[in-house]
Structure 1
Amino acid sequence: MLNPRFAFSVSLPISHMAPPRILLSGDVLGRLNPLFKRVQSVNKSAGPFDALFCVGQFFPDSTELLDEFMDYIDGLSPVPLPTYFTGDYGFGAPKVLSVASKNSANQGFKMDGIKICDNLFWLRGSGKFEFHGLSVAYLSGRQSSDGGQFGMYSQNDVDALRALAEEPGIVDLFLTNEWPSGVTGGAASSDIPPALSDSSGSDSMISELVAEIKPRYHIAGSRGVFYAREPYSNVDAVHVTRFLGLASVGNKDKQKFIHAISPTPTSTMSAADLSAKPPNTTISPYMLAGQTNVPKEATKRSIEDASDSQYWRYDVSKKRQKHGAGDVDKLCFKFISSGSCPRGERCYFQHDVDAREQYLRGVCLDFIIKGNCEKGPYCNFKHKLQDKDDSHSLRRPRSESVNRSKECWFCLSSPNVESHLIISIGENFYCALPKGPLVQDHGLIIPIEHLPNTFSVPTECDTELCRFQNSLKMYYKRQGKEAVFFEWVSKRSTHANLQVVPIPSTKACGLEKLFTLASEKLGFKFVAGKVGSGSDGRKFLRTEFDKNFSFFYVELPDGTILFHMLEENKKFPSQFGREVLAGLLNIADRADWRNCTVGKEDETKMAEDFKKRFEVFDPNK
């Protein structure tokens, strides 16, 4: 999943025109026998249903239920209908999910679920996909856990989900393990279960996400109680959101652990139906966060009244102040990202025109608002304020280039550069290992100058780039491997890096077909060119490259170059090349670089070992 969590979505075919019929379940805790017995009963009396979505812990909470659980995983007991789960933790989870991740059938883009066994799918990390016309988004796992790589979500998962949420369209279903903090705020007190009197077991990050995503339905588990909150209105959206918290399967209190819905996909609804509000609609509970002594009548308001609240994301200097306090140190996220704000002059945060201009020039929103970005070199946006005539030309004054590169992890002059990963330094380029390499000897060829792509380097510098490429090819050839080069070019790129991945020579013949199939899955076609030497390849690419468009290309061992050009505002998975090669090598679990990171000590050893083996081929020795 983009996640690998990347900002694109996949679709499942719409099998019929009627609204899909969905079953929802809370924490399963490995109790698959009672769950599926109930599912079959409901399916027989009120079905048929199209799918079961399980939130909360899916795996057993004790070893006693492992045998029952594994009977389904091993195919001894059938899963009665397509079942999707987010709670990837508990006994047996690491083993089962590790095997599924490495299965070649799960290679590539699996935002619609990684297959565990027949009819059972794991929604890993975060993602968004379509199911029978419904737009489904999810955040899997908990914010923190002792479960290693499984059972917890990262900031990268959150960032990817935010990027997905910014795509056009309304999310119909949002699935999370944890409950959002404050969801009971503004609700009728008589409807709130006593077990929810305190906020323990809730997640404030979920609250932020759901306020941004504004799904029509939000389903969560993990609190062990059933709670169907009154619909609430959303800021800057006409539709309401319905929250459902589900109890655990087979709970002693006989609370509801399975629930059926049949929502009409947003894409087929009329404007009137979408904006309809039940009489008991309340204000969004997330608008009330941090406020106390709110009159009950103030919570029963329409979306028009709700628009009086600021929709914002970042707090620059200190905790957010209450309405009316104002804070000149805070910038209005809505204004910067969209150019407008529903509050207008009544907004308590700055409508900074200069910040908006920087955003339009491709500067990272986190960098503009917070002054830093945690993604570092893996962020697709710039981490330096841009001049109006910023053309990334090598002709700009040296002092300006130095200032612009201080925050960049790839600039040799930056205090943040990962110098222990560097293999060889030339006049215009250097070679280094990446963070989280896909395979051993996975390398990067990087311009020394702070430039967004390798085509921004003067043409005469291509000779040195080709020397690096040829040296790496010879190095890999001695190991019985071939080199695959690829680069993703975008106006939002900060510092260029040409990736090179070695693959076994026996697998090279299937590369073009695999890349073609992957592109077709994403709805585009490659343009192919056949060239000879590396220098001919660079000349060919320069004739095809247009700085006004985004550009992905891959150079195959037989001299074939595949490239795809697209408009800058179009979505494209920045890790596309890596994911395809992970599929080819049957290491789908390594498609996401975050699954492959090691400590600095191990990275240093990897780089030193590479340098020793590469020394005889190094063009700079």
Structure 2
Amino acid sequence: MAEKQKVLICGDVEGHFKFLFNKVETINKKNGPFDFLLCVGNFFGEDNVELEPFKSGMKTISIPTYIIGPNRAADVKYYPDLNGCEICQNLTYLGRRGLYNASSGLKIAYLSGIEETSSEMRDYSFNAKDVTDVRNTCLKGQPSFRGVDILLTSPWPEGITNLDPKKPDFNYKGSKFISWLATHIKPRYHLSALENIHYDRPPYRNQSATEDNMEIATRFMALATVGNPQKRKWLYALNLTPVDRSRLSDLIVKTTDETASPYPKSTLNPDPLGLKMEVQNTQFFYDMDSQDGKRKQNNTDRANKRAKFEFDQAKCWFCLSSPEVSKHLVISVGNEIYLALAKGGVVDDHFLILPVTHHQSLSILPESVAHEMKLYKEAVGKYYEKTDRVPVFFERNFKSSHCQLQAIPIHKNQAPALKETFQEIAECNNFSLTEIPRNSQLHQIAQPGMLYFYVELPDGEKMYYRIKKDFPLQFGREVLVSDRILDMNDRADWRECQLDKVEETELAMKVRKAFQPFDVDV
């Protein structure tokens, strides 16, 4: 289980830097160490002279502090670069909008400014495109998106007090675009300011586009102004495990005071402007730099056609053209497919068979790519055969951004126990594998967008499981390393089996040479 992160969040600072940082330093010494201080609302005020000692280095800020951008014209001049910059040591402006991924795995989404109601954008405002970009950034590469840990917006979301049993009567200026954004990225904590009000709303259960999905809950909190004379709460502490490193059962647990979502069903619309576009499945990828908004389409076209989002292959770990790919592990390259060693492999020649360009899963490969995939599977089988081993192929189309067919060899005498072992370990994880008829193919069973686990046994039998909510990520490995098969239980998690790059390079050279006589001729 990942380590919990300790985070402080404060409301409008309004130039009271000395008071804020002294208070934070005291709290950090007494109850810390804290990993971050996050500030929402108006950070700068009419008089910002108290920041000068921190800028000059005469004073220091005790913990890394992140702020979001200006909410009024008078404050724009205090931000050297509106796209994000360091203001002084341990004080960073995150930028107009985006997703900050901390090294711990904590996901912090943020949106600077106030909602723009006119057609002309200002340096301290956001519009529908901005919230769409944040949504796309959060969902990109997340086939089973759970949500983000924290959402920072200075304005409140419109309608947030709806369904609160206490029926608060606040006079606040809410943003419909922020309500839409919160609905789509499902923050565990949503923090706002600007109203000099402390409001701790009961947690609400996020909406789902499909009825059978159980979404996580969100807790919204508004914080008052730092050092306000009414002594309203302006500082809040969080202690949480990152969402992607938490058990799903922990994330969806219900509380006695939770409510339904305060936002209308219309916020599930994929377009914040309310155009009747088709709901996007999170199996598709979103590009934060997409130019779709600039295309000249009329409302009718946009209503009847699925929005086209381009995937940036340069940022995919497995697209061969990407600078992120581990090219030193590549064994063979064809026209459509390439073969590579798996990082932290179960055995030295644990292979990945992957499309050269971006394809999400085995079930939706174009015919030419699927044909070359078959040739590589046959080549891998012949390579293993020389040492009396047979391949087990499996794919997990869940929390993976690029089609990866894994090939792990076992001794041919162990093959008869495979089917029963897969079924038994699946039952231990509370699911059942379904056999695919001999005359059927995966693409006939798994429709586009479906999440699944798929395994192909050495005798040609195929089984799959349709993933609905959660799935043990190391399931395929766990079966093969079990006592009945390879008896290598200490190699169930790839992270425990990693080599350094020098060792990986040497191993790849050795396997590349051994595989050469079996290489695919395309």
Q: TM-score band (shorter)?
A: 0.5 to 0.7
Shift of 1:269: 1.7
Counterpart in 2 of 1:499?
none
Contiguous gaps of at least 5 residues in structure 1: 1-15, 102-109, 290-309, 321-329, 341-359, 365-371, 387-489, 494-518, 528-543, 550-564, 573-621
Q: Give the Cα separation in 2 of the matches to 1:121 and 1:88.
A: 13
Counterpart in 1 of 2:114?
142
Shift of 1:92: 7.2
Q: Give the Cα separation in 2 of the matches to 1:84 and 1:568.
A: 37
Counterpart mapping for 1:206-225 below 5 A: 206-225=178-197
Secondary structure of residue in 2 paired with 1:18 = coil
Contiguous gaps of at least 5 residues in structure 2: 209-213, 312-319, 339-355, 361-399, 403-522
Counterpart mapping for 1:67-106 below 5 A: 67-89=49-71, 93-98=75-80, 100=81
Say whether the 8 Å CA contact 1:55–1:177 is kept in structure 2: yes
Counterpart in 1 of 2:124?
151
User: Among 135, 150, 156, which residue is 1:179 paired with?
Assistant: 156
Amino acid at match of 2:124: G
Say whether the 8 Å CA contact 1:248–1:257 is kept in structure 2: yes
User: Among 13, 16, 26, which residue is 1:41 paired with?
Assistant: 26
Alignment of 1:126 with 2:97, yes or no, is yes
Shift of 1:363: 13
Q: Give the Cα separation in 2 of the matches to 1:154 and 1:285.
A: 22
RMSD in angstroms over aligned alpha carbons?
Answer: 4.5
Secondary structure of residue in 2 paired with 1:21 = strand
Counterpart in 1 of 2:281?
338
Q: Give the Cα separation in 1 of the matches to 2:336 and 2:74.
A: 50
Q: Give the Cα separation in 2 of the matches to 1:48 and 1:189.
A: 35
Q: Give the Cα separation in 2 of the matches to 1:72 and 1:234.
A: 41
Amino acid at match of 2:278: F
Say whether the 8 Å CA contact 1:201–1:222 is kept in structure 2: no
Q: Give the Cα separation in 1 of the matches to 2:25 and 2:204.
A: 33
Secondary structure of residue in 2 paired with 1:189 = coil
Counterpart in 2 of 1:117?
88
Q: Give the Cα separation in 1 of the matches to 2:91 and 2:204.
A: 32
Q: Give the Cα separation in 1 of the matches to 2:180 and 2:359.
A: 28
Say whether the 8 Å CA contact 1:59–1:91 is kept in structure 2: no
Secondary structure of residue in 2 paired with 1:172 = strand
Amino acid at match of 1:221: A
Q: Give the Cα separation in 1 of the matches to 2:272 and 2:234.
A: 38
Shift of 1:124: 0.8
Q: Give the Cα separation in 2 of the matches to 1:123 and 1:522.
A: 25
Counterpart in 1 of 2:371?
none
Counterpart in 2 of 1:285?
262
Say whether the 8 Å CA contact 1:66–1:92 is kept in structure 2: no
String of CA shifts for 1:333-382, please: whole Å, max 9, x gaps.
33xx2399xxxxxxxxxxxxxxxxxxx9x999xxxxxxx9642389xxx9
The alpha-carbon distance between structure 1 residues 188 and 259, as it changes in their structure 2 partners (threshold 3 A), is same
Secondary structure of residue in 1 paired with 2:100 = strand
The alpha-carbon distance between structure 1 residues 548 and 524, as it changes in their structure 2 partners (threshold 3 A), is closer
Shift of 1:249: 0.7
Counterpart in 2 of 1:31?
16
Say whether the 8 Å CA contact 1:491–1:568 is kept in structure 2: no
TM-score between both structures, scaled by the size of structure 1: 0.44
Q: Give the Cα separation in 2 of the matches to 1:116 and 1:30.
A: 14
String of CA shifts for 1:297-317, please: whole Å, max 9, x gaps.
xxxxxxxxxxxxx9334599x
Counterpart in 1 of 2:358?
567
Say whether the 8 Å CA contact 1:314–1:333 is kept in structure 2: no
Counterpart in 2 of 1:162?
135
Counterpart in 2 of 1:326?
none
Counterpart mapping for 1:230-249 below 5 A: 230-236=202-208, 237-249=214-226
Counterpart mapping for 1:537-548 below 5 A: none
Counterpart in 2 of 1:4?
none
String of CA shifts for 1:505-538, please: whole Å, max 9, x gaps.
xxxxxxxxxxxxxx999734799xxxxxxxxxxx
Say whether the 8 Å CA contact 2:286–2:309 is kept in structure 1: no
Say whether the 8 Å CA contact 2:164–2:259 is kept in structure 1: yes
Alignment of 1:52 with 2:29, yes or no, is no
Shift of 1:280: 0.7
Q: Give the Cα separation in 2 of the matches to 1:148 and 1:36.
A: 33
Shift of 1:157: 2.1
Amino acid at match of 1:376: R
String of CA shifts for 1:433-483, please: whole Å, max 9, x gaps.
xxxxxxxxxxxxxxxxxxxxxxxxxxxxxxxxxxxxxxxxxxxxxxxxxxx
TM-score between both structures, scaled by the size of structure 2: 0.52
Secondary structure of residue in 2 paired with 1:333 = coil
Secondary structure of residue in 2 paired with 1:222 = coil
Shift of 1:94: 3.5
Count of paired positions: 318
Say whether the 8 Å CA contact 2:100–2:107 is kept in structure 1: yes
Identity of aligned residues (%): 28
